[in-house]
């Protein structure tokens, strides 16, 4: 968790301003506590950490089918939940992050309902949809990233990337 906290803290100033609200202080706050405005942020950070071996796919996967028919992450994102996504891949030794990307969900929320990406089954009765990192970057949704391989942003150099919306 310390690595996640550091990424969020180091990049917080880059987060979209639409998740910060400004309110006037109360009269007590103004007269007794010496401040006039209150900035309130509601930052809902979703986190997905994958094994290093999945970095080769250069994709961002979201569960779209649960084993028992419950609402999944994609349904919650479509409904407006979440504002920032930290998507990371572990190093080969699983000790730290090899690469990560911070995504402004509001800029790609449309992809989850409008793009006809294929549903990909897992072996456990669940399924997911994959969205290319390049398509997320093309939507200007990348807040920041670290150590992304070149093929993540340039899909023409990646034969494995089949899911451009």
Residue 164: inside a domain: no
- Asked whether residue 92 is assigned to any structural domain, the reply reads yes
Our count of domains for the chain comes to 1
Residues 36-59 have a mean pLDDT of 90
Q: pLDDT of 133-161, one tens digit each? A: 999 999 999 999 999 998 887 655 444 44
**pLDDT tens, 3-28?**
999 999 999 989 887 766 788 989 99
75 within a domain of the structure (yes/no): yes
> Rounded to whole angstroms, how far apart are CA atoms 115 and 62?
13
What DSSP line would sit under 22-37, residue for residue? EEEPPHHHHHHS---E
* Closest alpha carbon to 143 in 51, 50, 11: 11
On whether the CB atoms of residues 76 and 42 are closer than 8 A, the answer is no
Q: Residue 104 domain-assigned?
A: yes
Which range marks the domain in which residue 103 is found?
A: 44-157
User: What is the band of 37 on the pLDDT scale with cuts at 50, 70, 90?
Assistant: confident
Q: Of 70, 77, 75, give the one whose Cα is nearest residue 46.
A: 77
Sheet holding 127-132, edge to edge: 59-65, 127-132, 120-121
SS3 content of the chain, % helix, strand, coil (to 5): 35, 30, 35
């Amino acid at each position: 968790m310390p690595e996640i906290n550091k990424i969020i803290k180091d990049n917080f100033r880059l987060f979209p301003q639409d998740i910060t609200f400004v309110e006037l202080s109360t009269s007590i706050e103004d007269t007794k506590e010496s401040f006039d405005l209150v900035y309130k942020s509601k930052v809902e950070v979703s986190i997905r950490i994958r094994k290093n071996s999945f970095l080769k796919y250069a994709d961002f996967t979201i569960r779209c089918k649960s084993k028992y028919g419950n609402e999944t992450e994609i349904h919650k994102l479509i409904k407006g939940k979440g504002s920032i996504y930290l998507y990371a891949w572990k190093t080969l030794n699983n000790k730290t992050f090899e690469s990560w990307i911070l995504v402004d969900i509001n800029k790609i929320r449309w992809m989850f309902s409008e793009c006809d990406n294929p549903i990909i089954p897992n072996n456990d009765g669940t399924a997911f949809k994959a969205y290319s990192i390049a398509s997320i970057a093309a939507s200007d949704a990348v807040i920041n990233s670290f150590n992304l391989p070149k093929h993540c942003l340039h899909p023409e150099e990646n034969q494995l990337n089949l899911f451009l919306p």
